[in-house]
Amino acid sequence: MSSVTSSTTELSRDQLVAFISDEYPKVVAAVALITGDRAGAEDSVQDALASLWQRRDGFRPDNLAAWVTVVATNRSRSAQRRHGAEARAVGRLDRPDPAVADTSARLADADLVARALERLPEQQRKVAVLHYLGDHSVSDIAAALDLSEGTVKTHLSRARAALSDALNQGADL
Amino acid sequence: MSEHDPLDERLSEAFKQLGGTHSPAVGDPQVLADRILDRPTGASVDGPRGPRASGLPWRFLAVLGAVALAGVATGAWAGATRSAPASAVVELGSVTLFDCPGGGYLGRLTSGDRIVLTGRTADSKWVELRDPTDLSARAWVDAAAVEADNDIAGLAVSECGGTVTTAPTSIPEETSTTLVEETTTLVEETIPPSTSTAPPPVSSTTVPRQSTTTAPPGPSPTPAPTPAPDRTGPTLSNVGASPNPIWTQAQPGVPCPPAKSKLTTTVNAAVSDPSGVASVHLEWAVNGRSGTANMAPVGGTWRGTIGPFAPDTLPTSGAGMNQAVTVTVRATDAAGNTSSQNISFELRSSAECFG
């Protein structure tokens, strides 16, 4: 399964500016949610973008945002492993501050989802974030993660069930 | 999983909230793009990353190209940067940045950070670098704390404040033969073509510099050009369309998933002109259809929207399902001069969603 197109046109600076304007904040947020490392997320996303834009072999992912999210996540994970920081990073994951959080359902849901995400297996978390935050289709997620669409659907279904449980339990509190 | 499932909608809303919480402030996309493009990446795109530097928000990476670019802009510094060491890696675990040798505290660098060196003290105990927190400023670190790519003796001797008092000993002959007081302007931006009538790039730091060598006189300094009447159109740059691709409107009864429901694209363009930009509009064409749209200034960038496209804009099968939309961005300045730039983006048929 390949996410490479046949285009040999090099990516331009204009395309990078457009990506930064339209996709960059959401991609950084997605990586931060998956890895639990907000500071490292932006660094990894920039690293992935720099590497891609410096390539001269015509490689262009079909879905740039999904591809950058996955590559940056992998890079962030590698860095975390090297630094043994994963456990600490998860604890740094920003959530809506309960002290100032209002009682609105939306913020409450976000908090519950953030907590539930931390407990999800890595692949489920990736798929859920790519789908619900990145707004990527199953086929695009499958291509970016190099998985079959069936596998992605399974991960998404399980993640959805776990997140649903979290929301329901939160509602019972 | 229906798009209208209440649970999915609730989850999407929750993720949207989380996305907002975790989204960084981008600032100027142009500046960030430059930083990304200047970022050295030793690892392959999918491979493990190199030694991780600090996670500090102002983590700085070498911008060797920018320094070289600055030299090209002036003609004088170019020779020096060819032989002078221009970058170094922080060697110690943590290094303090000072505003001057032994001066005030500015911040810290972490082992592995790559920096751009711009000078040294006469005794080579301190090196001057581009301040990672403000690329237009200068900072100093203990020379023993960094590992330069080349011998730092090749760096110009500099004083706190940015004035170079002694030219590098290794400065090439073609540079050292000039005996003029010149101003070296370090630019952070792309240098416009020599034929451009656009104003010179904004200088971020000006470093008075005087050669100390005696040599045969070189060519006379070029006098400041007299402003000519504006007879050229605006300068267009960073023209792009995003998202790309987009899809035609959904076929009746065949909704597309969210990822294939992008129906419009935004065309961005940076437009500048000494006389002022009067208007910018875009013209598009695809598969025998065409149209125009006005662009409006938004935060320093001109923006216009194209789309949505009717379902029958493209064939629903065959090779014509995906086609390039050609776009001409046309700008007019206050003097009535026009200029344009062409780009394209991909339009896909929503008939894809059958599959």
**What string of pLDDT tens digits covers the 173 residues of chain A?**
333 333 445 678 888 999 999 999 999 999 999 988 877 888 889 989 988 888 777 778 889 999 999 999 888 877 766 555 444 444 444 444 443 344 455 557 888 898 899 889 989 999 999 999 999 999 999 998 888 999 999 999 999 999 999 888 765 54
Which chain B residues are closer than 8 Å to A136 by Cβ? 258-259
Minimal Cα–Cα distance from A72 to chain B, Å?
Answer: 9
pLDDT, one tens digit per residue, over B242-298 is 888 888 887 776 677 777 778 888 888 888 887 778 888 888 889 888 888 888 877
Q: Under a CB-based contact definition with an 8 Å cutoff, are residues B101 and B125 in contact?
A: yes
Task: State CA B315 to chain mean position distance.
Answer: 39
Hunting for tokens 């619900």 — which residue is that? A132
First to last CA, chain B: 16
Degrees (nearest 5) of the Cα angle B168, B82, B76?
65
B-chain residues near A44 (CB < 8 A): 49
pLDDT at B214 over 50: no
The CA-CA-CA angle for residues B303, A12, B33, to 5°, reads 70
- What distance in Å separates residue A97's CA from the closest CA in chain B? 10
Cβ–Cβ gap A16/B17 under 8 Å: no
Six-digit token string for B27? 């600032």
Block residue for tokens 């200034």: B297
Give phi and psi for B213, each to the nearest 5: -85, 150
Pick from B21, B59, B258: CB nearest A94: B21
Residue B1 and residue A12: Cβ atoms within 8 Å? no
Residues of chain B with Cβ-Cβ distance to A55 below 8 Å are 45
Q: What is the ipTM of this complex?
A: 0.80
